Amino acid sequence: MADTPRHGLATRAIHAGQEPDPRTGAVVVPIVTSSTFKQDGVGGFRDGFEYARTGNPTRRSLEQTLAAIENGTHARAFASGSAATDAVVSLLSPGDEVLTTIDVYGGTYRYLEQVKARWGLVCRFLATSDAEEILAAITDRTRLIWIETPTNPLLNVIDIAALAAGRPEGVLLAVDNTFATPALQNPLDLGADIVAHSATKYLGGHSDVLGGAVITRDAELDERIGFHQNAVGAVPSPFDCFLVQRGIKTLSVRMPRHEDNARRIASLLEEHPAVERVFFPGLPSHPHHELARRQMRGVPGMVSFRLAGGRAAADRFLDGLELFALAESLGGVESLACYPYTMTHGAIPDAQKQAIGITENLVRLSVGIEDAADLLADVEQALARAAAP
């Protein structure tokens, strides 16, 4: 299918890069497991394929789908979201500076602070989600602004267009779009240079695959990221590519259900006496609610909240859940509960976590697509346990 602007997201997700197999007519892209490819003479590659780390037909199909759903022109698939992050940061050199926010995935913090800083990268974690304050922090060494929006786990929303318009020439803007997904937000359309994903989450959608992605419209950036992809070799297996691509096909159907369920739970939490504060951009009470309405086409199924009874209440709440599983990750069809303080953000020093609001009474929910009434009942009974003396 030659993708054009007239094709909607659901159509691109199902057809882009996924032509029926010309030999057999199979409508599902074959899983090509070969580690190497026969050459017709030295350098005579068939359809460009030489060695599986460098390129694979199943992976290429996924990459074409990824580019199409993010309104990009180039995409690279990786073995995980962390590998995708590494590929973007590989564009920088020792002495360069990357700006990000302290309210960022704990694995990203760990990678920048404990891995790349040792190699001479200057990593600054800003205690803000305000675009003007981020722009004001740029120095002559800044080469990359890396943001999540909504952020993990406090669900702050950052103005992508303002950052894109205000950053000086030579400063790249990369957006981790894992939470919002292409169903709700397209950062490239708002002026970002690069979009990154943990495809493990909403893109895969079923908690059964690890994957990452980097998408851009810049051929030169893509070439450099592709060089890193091949040199480092952190590529997904063909079967993993198949699973991510299969998950993408239902993304536009799943996301509204995630959002509707999350809205119901966020509303319940906001009214409950055992809850101190709710973080959900879909609520009018959220400080970035209007920005979310302008920038996004909806909100993901992520809800964070603080319990009034401190760590003990959080423990009672998590222990009391029956349908929500206490587990890392997010974005799957099943509902998960997470304790960011020691789980996803355990790598951040305690003092910094407390300063930015990742407190010992904070719980993060990834709301799945089960029946809303069942999820509401589960949260309500767990809240009752949390409130018990």
229 with 314, same domain: the answer is: no
Percentage above 90 pLDDT, the chain: 93
pLDDT at residue 165, rounded to an integer: 98
- For this structure, is 105 an active site residue? yes
Per-residue pLDDT tens for 296-346? Answer: 999 999 999 999 999 999 999 999 999 999 999 999 999 999 999 999 898
Q: How many CA atoms lie within 13 A of 50 on its CB side?
A: 9
36 with 173, same domain: the answer is: yes
Asked whether residue 2 is domain-assigned, the answer is no
d(CA 222, CA 216): 7
* Among 185, 219, 249, residue at a domain's last position: 249
231 with 267, same domain: the answer is: no
* Among 193, 223, 249, residue at a domain's last position: 249
- Amino acid identity, position 202: Y
Distances (CA, A) of 295 to 13, 58, 155: 21, 33, 14
208 with 319, same domain: the answer is: no
Asked whether residue 1 is domain-assigned, the answer is no
55 with 173, same domain: the answer is: yes
Is the pLDDT assigned to residue 2 strictly greater than 80? no
DSSP string, 152-200: TTT-----HHHHHHHSPTT-EEEEE-TTTHHHH--GGGGT-SEEEEETT
223 with 369, same domain: the answer is: no
Does the pTM of the predicted model rise above 0.85?
A: yes
Looking up residue 104, the CATH number of its domain turns out to be 3.40.640.10
Average pLDDT, stretch 268-274? Answer: 98
The three-state DSSP-derived secondary structure of 334-374 is CCEEECCCCCCCCCCCHHHHHHHCCCCCEEEEECCCCCHHH
Catalytic residue among 167, 201, 217, 254: 201
- Dihedral sign computed on CA atoms, order 18, 24, 26, 30: negative
Predicted confidence band of residue 5 (pLDDT cuts 50, 70, 90): low
339 with 213, same domain: the answer is: no
133 with 200, same domain: the answer is: yes
Asked if residues 74 and 218 have their Cβ atoms less than 8 Å apart, the reply is yes
Catalytic residue among 60, 103, 105, 202: 105
Q: Domain range for residue 73?
A: 9-249
Asked whether residue 170 is domain-assigned, the answer is yes
Catalytic residue among 86, 103, 176, 378: 176
pLDDT at residue 388, rounded to an integer: 87
Catalytic residue among 53, 110, 224, 246: 53
Is the pLDDT assigned to residue 25 strictly greater than 80? yes
Looking up residue 301, the CATH number of its domain turns out to be 3.90.1150.10
CA angle 116, 118, 124 (to 5 degrees): 60
How many independent structural domains does the chain possess?
Answer: 2
d(CA 332, CA 317): 21
Asked whether residue 341 is domain-assigned, the answer is yes
d(CA 158, CA 249): 28
DSSP code of residue 287: T
Per-residue pLDDT tens for 84-111? Answer: 999 999 999 999 999 999 889 999 999 9
142 with 114, same domain: the answer is: yes
Cα first-last separation, the chain = 61
Is the pLDDT assigned to residue 1 strictly greater than 70? no
Asked whether residue 345 is domain-assigned, the answer is yes
Per-residue pLDDT tens for 130-163? Answer: 999 999 999 999 999 999 999 999 999 999 999 9
**Closest residue by Cα to residue 57 from 23, 12, 13, 90:** 23
Asked whether residue 75 is domain-assigned, the answer is yes
155 with 215, same domain: the answer is: yes
Is the pLDDT assigned to residue 16 strictly greater than 80? yes
Is the pLDDT assigned to residue 3 strictly greater than 90? no
